[in-house]
Amino acid sequence: MRVLVTGGFGDVGKSVLAELVSAGHTVRCLDVRNAATLLTAARLHGRGIEVVWGDVRCADDVARAVADQEVVIHLAAVIPPRSEINPDSARAVNVDGTRNLLRAMDASATRPRLIHVSSLAVFGRSGERPPPRKATDAVRPFDHYTEHKVEGERLVRSSGVAWAILRLGAVVPIGWVGKDPRLMMREMFEVPLAQRIECVNARDVALALTNAVTCDRVLGRTLLIGGGPTCQVHVRELVTRVLDAMGVGALPDEAFSTTPYHTDWLDTSESQRLLDYQRHSFDDFVREIPRTLGPWRAVIRLARPLLRWLILRHSPYLDKHRGTFHPRGDPFET
């Protein structure tokens, strides 16, 4: 089938593009042109992926990308913390961009179906409720990003296109290319160590989305996409095991927030039954980290004291316990 992926050069998108090509689909990618996406495009050159450079905020770009497509996988989004730093710009992508896409699809002669990618964050801070979260649970938007996602889902459901909504759990691994490491580290400390979290490997997400392309039974449904029981952990285990595998080591409890966050365990029984995508456990992910780092892991271990200092100084909570921990200045500033 002819499949368009919006935001295809992002962390999840790269895996989706590869899986779609492997499954024999004719693949087109719509993404903005910048240093990170140009690098990704160069790495994927020769894979048979058509690239349309454009922006979902521009109706003409979207119409050009949608032309002649049979399925659209809508990944393009601005996520936290960027969505909270500049909410108006994020809304233009997350809501207005979705509206542009739906209008282009509705006007297209091929009448493509939509696989709309959303997030478990729409459930809000659900730690006080017993797990797991179910697709039928009420949504509780609490910040700009979740408000955007809920509004985007409403636009999809009220549109005239055939649709499925897939809400993703915590996708791993998280890529660093094109991201501000300061923001990523600060965001990490916002998640309490006691928080429930369900990871899902990016390759499993890609398989779920690829299988959804040809699965008529997902149409008109909202499904939760997570790694399943073998990926349900608490943040303490996630952070500790990942940092240990990297060679950094566990961080002190007081560096982390105690305010509930928007992660939880998910009921993925229906999505797994329909899409058969869960292939990787949390243990698999942790075991891959040393292999992925290769010789860099030895460098990390040698620089461990400095790296731990650099990481911990981005916690807004540690000063409350260690008043003079942070020296002045930011080593990332130029």
Place of tokens 């316990």: 321
Whole-number Å distance between alpha carbons of 184 and 105: 34
69, pLDDT greater than 90: yes
CA dist 81 and 87 (Å) reads 10
Per-residue pLDDT at 324 exceeds 50 = no
| One-letter identity of residue 107 | A
Helix (H) or strand (E) holding 208: helix 202-213
The reported pLDDT for the residue numbered 127 is 86
Would you say the pTM of this structure is higher than 0.85? yes
Residue 263 lies in a domain: no
Q: Does 206 have pLDDT greater than 50?
A: yes
Distance CA 66, CA 324 (A): 55
In a domain, 287, yes or no: no
CB burial class (10 A; 0-12, 13-18, 19+) of residue 9?
buried
Q: What is the arithmetic mean of pLDDT over 98-125? A: 97
Check which CATH number belongs to the domain holding 223 and give it: 3.40.50.720
> Which 8-state DSSP code applies to residue 139?
P
When pLDDT is cut at 50, 70 and 90, the band that residue 310 belongs to is: very high
219-277 residue pLDDT tens: 999 999 999 999 999 999 999 999 999 999 999 999 999 999 999 999 999 999 999 99
pLDDT value of position 177:
62
The pLDDT value given to residue 328? 33
Amino acid at 98: T
At 321, the pLDDT band (50, 70, 90 cuts) reads low
CA 29, chain centre distance (Å) = 17
- Residue written as token pair 């990926």: 231
The whole-number average pLDDT for the span 79-92 is: 95
How far is the first Cα of the chain from the last one, in angstroms, to the nearest whole number? 48
Kindly state whether residue 164 falls inside one of the protein's structural domains: yes
DSSP 328: S
Query: Does residue 195 or residue 179 have the better pLDDT?
Result: 195
Residue 330's pLDDT is what?
37
Residue 9 has pLDDT above 80, yes or no: yes
Split at pLDDT 50, 70, 90, the class of 176 is: low
Domain count, the chain: 1
Is there a domain that residue 27 lies in? yes
For residue 317, the number of C-alpha atoms closer than 13 Å in the C-beta half-sphere is 17
Kindly state whether residue 246 falls inside one of the protein's structural domains.
Answer: no
**266 in a domain, yes or no?**
no
Burial of 186 from C-beta contacts in 10 A (0-12 / 13-18 / 19+): middle
pLDDT-based confidence at 325, cuts 50/70/90? very low
Residue 274 lies in a domain: no
**DSSP letter for each residue of 47-99:** S--EEEE--TT-HHHHHHHHTT-SEEEE-----TTHHHHSHHHHHIIIIIHHH
Is residue 323 pLDDT above 50, yes or no?
Answer: no
Q: What is the pLDDT of residues 93-107, one digit of tens each?
A: 999 999 999 999 999
Q: Is 247 in contact with 301 (CB distance < 8 Å)?
A: yes
Dist CA 290 CA 234 (whole Å): 21
Share of the chain above pLDDT 70, in %: 94
Do 93 and 86 meet the contact criterion of CB atoms below 8 Å apart? no
Q: What is the mean pLDDT of residues 7-18?
A: 96
Show the domain range for 66: 2-180+199-229
* Average pLDDT of the chain, as a whole number: 93
> Is position 288 within any domain?
no
